[in-house]
Chain A
């Protein structure tokens, strides 16, 4: 029997309260629908995994809404990742208790990185996904964006990857802000840079507009591809349609 290994395709959903929004270059949010309906549909489509990011909690505007998280997880028998304002071990435990396997952590990288290993101690490193949001600055260099103070970090991307790697996460999620919602393909350059640096799974998000983009990103070395525009709209951005590819990319 041949064991096939395959790449994951992961809907990455931004929520505010119980509503889903699609972002374009991390702004210009377009309303998609109620999260519970969206999740139900993805569950019926047998998605590989779902990542939920709470926009308001990620900016510390709201506390983490555990009751919404619980209700989301009751609708889906697929792996779930939550991101948005995770600050400490107690929150991490509560999120697991809501039915989530993985924690997407970003803010702590800027304001309290030592907490990450404390959370990993209770959760296991494989449950930690560290998030990196990248955009080009005016000189065309890739910079890491800090959403808390809305500024780019001075470090080079390479140096930041090293910093991330030393924290020993289970996976890394790299989001290309410039390509977010553009549907013009993923950033192959960044995938290749990340592949040469990390041994852990790399999830790339930002830019998928068609199936070829997914294949190209996989070929470049991504282990998992985040989709949002691709799974929330029909052919045009005027028509919302929750959908999911019926093909997979095998190694």
Chain B
């Protein structure tokens, strides 16, 4: 169960281990696949789109604009950033999520079913929100924006640490939410398919394979929802930094 993934290129940067192993390679391939799909759609752009690609992409872009950027209060300049995050989670979570069954053994699996991958995405959103807060309000405004408006006196001393902690906790909860949802589905799948190893009954085999198929479909659904929720909460973090509550 704990066989190490095959390392293709061992790299270190200080104490950080950034070697290229199977998981990293698979996710690079997923990202290149995403870029290739979008490039192909871009090449055949038309004002009256016919066929599958451009219609789907337009639906996704409109969805991102209406349901992710508008509620967060961001204008369309943020569309590339939010769309990148959304499509990356979809494109790695959906196909590679099925491979995540075998994940711990051979290093297969998506970036989003690994705490490191989701932590990287959450840290990126957090750094962007910090940078936006600095650029928008300046240094003193940065501290001021952490205190809710209309609060005076010693209550500020009470509220400021609470606000700081809650802001610092947001990327944690983003990362853990995505990771636990993705890998929880894999655990459930492994548990249900593990029943076939315990019993030698045909009925148990059929039931567990049937249950596994249902759970794979449910996992695909959960991946789409979690991609939306991750991007929505990350965008609302950035919007809150930009507009100050």
Indicate, yes or no, whether A interacts with B: no
